[in-house]
Amino acid sequence: MSKVIVGMSGGVDSAVAAFLLKEKGYEVIGVTLRTWLSEDGTESRCCEIDDARRTAWELGIRYYPYNCLELFKEKVIEPFAKDYIRGLTPNPCIECNRYVKWGKMEYIRQVFDADYIATGHYAHVIEKNGRYTVRTADYTSKDQTYMLYKLTQEQLAHTLMPLGGYSKEQVRDIARDIGMEVAGKKDSQELCFVTEGNHADYIDSMGMLDTPGAGAFTDKEGNILGTHKGIHHYTIGQRKGLGIALGTPRFVTKLNPSSNEVVLGDESDLMKQELLCGELNFLSVERIPEGDKIRCNAKIRYAHKASPAVIYGVGDDMVRVVFDEAVRAPSPGQSAVFYDDEGCVIGGGRIMDQKID
């Protein structure tokens, strides 16, 4: 009997993933990674150990919580805050998946001498070109492949994702049919470690000495338009909550950490056709050599519909992405993820700049 370690968040997705694997004959062991505690000692929304433990009891499987507080702080929280301070827009879930969830669960898999790890992500793990990659879920409204592009070949080789062929409604129906208490539990939509206020409030509460203070709103010509609260309060494409009235809608088009300036412009200024990506991770191909190119569909954020593009290799760890048509508000710090025509992830990278000069 194959043994599988299932990451259980306390929600319905991971609960049903564990159930489906048990039904297929796997020996299932549930684990929860405790990644964050509030000042009063209560768990964050994504680490609800009581619900996960109860689900494991309902399924009749072994269950173990693991402390990952320091790892999560080092790999997710601190880089998240530093990126915003540097004028970037980070995606902490991507980093958490590779370095915390899969990093720790792969260790646990080896400790238990298990064959696989599994999660409740909506995606398929497949082999292509002699390599492992992820393919989009059958129901694209729940597809989570964008968040998984940084996983390594070793991690994917030992990963199962049993929910790739299910819709969210089907998953809830399964949970209700077998009497799981979490069947109707609401999905978590926010950053798991930001439980009050917004990301900027959270960063301010960390007391980091280099948190930027007030600076100038400017237009693209450098004219001063007003005063902002600190660049970590703003993201590319933002219109609401600027605290400045200029008579016509203005959007954040650029963040300049060196001068502590937030540049405002028209919506047309947000449209970009080229961008540069670094910190690459490839799945279905090993790499894109300098001078080579691949036709693909590229997503520049989780909710973005993938757009036709060509990616060009421009160095050992850099690609240039040229879209057929301009896309709105690509943000340095976010990730661009590249898909082939079958919905398989070619790879992805971090947006380093909005355009090649």
Mind listing the domains of the chain with CATH numbers? 3-120+162-184 (3.40.50.620), 212-265 (2.30.30.280), 271-353 (2.40.30.10)
Give the pLDDT confidence score for residue 99 in this predicted structure.
Answer: 97
Q: Is residue 209 pLDDT above 90, yes or no?
A: no
Q: How confident is the model at residue 357 (pLDDT cuts 50, 70, 90)?
A: very low
Give the pLDDT confidence score for residue 35 in this predicted structure.
Answer: 85
Give the pLDDT confidence score for residue 40 in this predicted structure.
Answer: 55
- How confident is the model over 19-37, as a mean pLDDT? 93
Question: pLDDT by residue (tens digit) across 260-281?
Answer: 999 999 999 999 999 999 999 9
Q: Is residue 37 pLDDT above 70, yes or no?
A: no
Q: Is residue 86 pLDDT above 80, yes or no?
A: yes
Minimal CA–CA distance to 343: which of 168, 164, 102?
164
Query: 173 CB contacts (<8 Å, ≥6 apart)?
Result: none
Highest mean pLDDT among 200-204, 309-313, 349-353: 309-313
Give the pLDDT confidence score for residue 38 in this predicted structure.
Answer: 58
- How confident is the model over 94-109, as a mean pLDDT? 96
Q: Is residue 283 pLDDT above 80, yes or no?
A: yes
Using CB atoms within 10 A of its CB, is residue 73 exposed (0-12), middle (13-18) or buried (19+)? middle
- How confident is the model over 67-79, as a mean pLDDT? 94
Give the pLDDT confidence score for residue 188 in this predicted structure.
Answer: 73
Percent of the chain with pLDDT strictly greater than 70 = 95
- Distances in Å between the Cα of 121 and the Cα atoms of 3, 170, 184, 342 are 19, 14, 18, 19
Decide which of 202 and 225 is more confident.
Answer: 225
Paired residues of 67 in beta bridges = 34
Give the pLDDT confidence score for residue 47 in this predicted structure.
Answer: 47
Structure tokens at 29: 């062991």
Percent of the chain with pLDDT strictly greater than 90 = 81
Q: How confident is the model at residue 136 (pLDDT cuts 50, 70, 90)?
A: very high
Give the pLDDT confidence score for residue 356 in this predicted structure.
Answer: 44
pTM over 0.75: yes
Give the pLDDT confidence score for residue 187 in this predicted structure.
Answer: 82
Catalytic machinery residues: 96, 192
Give the pLDDT confidence score for residue 85 in this predicted structure.
Answer: 94
- How confident is the model over 29-53, as a mean pLDDT? 73
Give the pLDDT confidence score for residue 306 in this predicted structure.
Answer: 96
Give the pLDDT confidence score for residue 287 in this predicted structure.
Answer: 94
Question: pLDDT by residue (tens digit) across 138-190?
Answer: 998 999 999 999 999 999 999 999 999 999 999 999 999 999 999 998 887 66
Give the pLDDT confidence score for residue 210 in this predicted structure.
Answer: 80
Mean pLDDT of the chain: 92
- How confident is the model over 47-74, as a mean pLDDT? 92
- How confident is the model over 16-35, as a mean pLDDT? 96
Does residue 250 contact residue 238 with C-beta atoms inside 8 Å?
Answer: no
What distance in Å separates the CA atoms of residue 262 and residue 216, rounded to the nearest whole number? Answer: 6
Does residue 215 contact residue 231 with C-beta atoms inside 8 Å?
Answer: yes
Does residue 265 contact residue 246 with C-beta atoms inside 8 Å?
Answer: no
Give the pLDDT confidence score for residue 55 in this predicted structure.
Answer: 95
Q: 293-299 and 335-339: which strand pairing?
A: antiparallel
Q: Strand ranges (DSSP E) for the chain?
A: 3-7, 27-34, 62-67, 116-118, 123-128, 131-136, 159-160, 215-218, 224-228, 251-256, 261-265, 271-282, 293-299, 307-315, 318-328, 335-339, 345-353
- 101 secondary structure, DSSP code: I
Q: Is residue 102 pLDDT above 70, yes or no?
A: yes
- How confident is the model over 180-207, as a mean pLDDT? 83
What distance in Å separates the CA atoms of residue 5 and residue 332, rounded to the nearest whole number? Answer: 35
Structure tokens at 4: 């599988």
Q: How confident is the model at residue 88 (pLDDT cuts 50, 70, 90)?
A: very high
The DSSP result for 110-149, as a single string, is: HHTT-SEEE---SEEEEEETTEEEEEE-SSGGG--GGGGT
Give the pLDDT confidence score for residue 127 in this predicted structure.
Answer: 98
Minimal CA–CA distance to 151: which of 189, 90, 114, 101?
101
